[in-house]
Amino acid sequence: MTAWRRDLHAHPELGFEEHRTAAFVAGELRAAGIETVEGLAGTGVVGTLRGTRAGNRAVALRADMDALAMPEMTGAPYASSVPGKMHACGHDGHTAMLLGAAKWLAANRGRFAGTVHFVFQPAEESRGGGQRMVAEGLFERFPADAVYALHNLPGLPLGTIAVPKGPVLASSDTWETLFRGRGTHGAKPHLGSDATLAAAQFIAALHSIIARELDPMGVGVVSVGHMAAGDPEAPNVIPAEVRLRGTARALASGTRDLLERRIGDIARGMAATHGVAVDYAYTRRLGPTVNHPAQAAVMHRAAAATVGAALARDDHPPITAGEDFSAMLEVRPGAYAWLGTGEPAHPEGFHHNPHFDFNDAALPHGAAFLASIVEAELPAEPAR
């Protein structure tokens, strides 16, 4: 698995461009005697394996394959060979672990009764690969009673497996406002209508949603990530338009609805106060990733069987990052777990950092855990 992981790391590919990665995965699956389908969602790969014992249930295990558009600074001998692209979130490790689990299960078909689908997903990083796989009929073509995934987590002790109860990750949406006023010379502001003032007060008021409208025990985030106005070569001109873009995140659907509604209310209110117009758009990108209770329990049992009860946790707090595995959990019951990879070798080597590198010591834990989920979900012997 280490050789696989390092090969994938050296050849990163962005979302929907994972042609080499997909071919590599498909080749390894076929070499293990696993039925393999390529091309779902462009570069997705699905392997199907049936146990030697009769069983009418099926489960899906999912790993993401894509890299990020950023330069690598690890200095590793297997560092990215592609300028401006790197595996900075560990999807190379996820792919290698699912391949490892698939190979082991293929060699031990008598250990489970039923069907396993190994889902290698493209384009998790903000490109909607999970949604596209679902939309293109993933679960119609490969029926599954439950779906599971895991993600590496630097900072969580090596070998620890955390299966949160309920919410795991937040929704991830984008919003945009365009304040439209009447531009004028900076020396004569009374001759215009100031879109910059409306935008500035909108930004200040925006944070009152979290501070004063959201239950203190709830979780929500509203952030401004982009602002564009005027010409830097004309600082004496009040611009006619100010464009803002940002993110909104929530763990609960009610909070998500609140954020969408109130961002627009505040934008329109500030526009009216300052005599300007505003255009507002809110785009729902990813829903929250919320574990289903029964499948979370299966995952926790599998974790305990793999790494021992002391390293199997169910109390990890939610994180406000987003994950398109949520699209699969919206249509099938399932669960998502964190795999501890220990403290990073570089002090800045966390996700989406040029110093990030997956800890290969975690590979056996992850692969064994995935195989254990299958054994727990599709036992070869009936429970007594």
Catalytically active residues are 66, 124
Distance of CA 9 to the CA centre of its chain: 19
Distance CA 1, CA 101 (A): 10
The answer to whether 226 is a known ligand-binding residue is no
What distances in angstroms separate CA 14 from CA 19, 87, 92, 133, one per listed residue? Answer: 10, 9, 12, 16
Q: Dig out the tokens for 192 from the structure.
A: 């215009």
* Cβ contact 274:147 at 8 Å: no
Answer positive or negative: Cα dihedral of 328, 330, 331, 336. positive
Distance CA 243, CA 223 (A): 14
The answer to whether 352 is a known ligand-binding residue is yes
Contacts of residue 105, defined as CB under 8 A and 6 or more positions apart, other chains included, come to: 49, 111, 112, 116, 371, 374
Q: Dig out the tokens for 136 from the structure.
A: 């293109």
350: left (phi over 0), alpha (psi -120 to 50) or beta: beta
The answer to whether 89 is a known ligand-binding residue is yes
The answer to whether 91 is a known ligand-binding residue is yes
Residues contributing to the annotated binding site:
89, 91, 125, 151, 352
Residues contributing to the annotated binding site for Mn(2+):
89, 91, 125, 151, 352
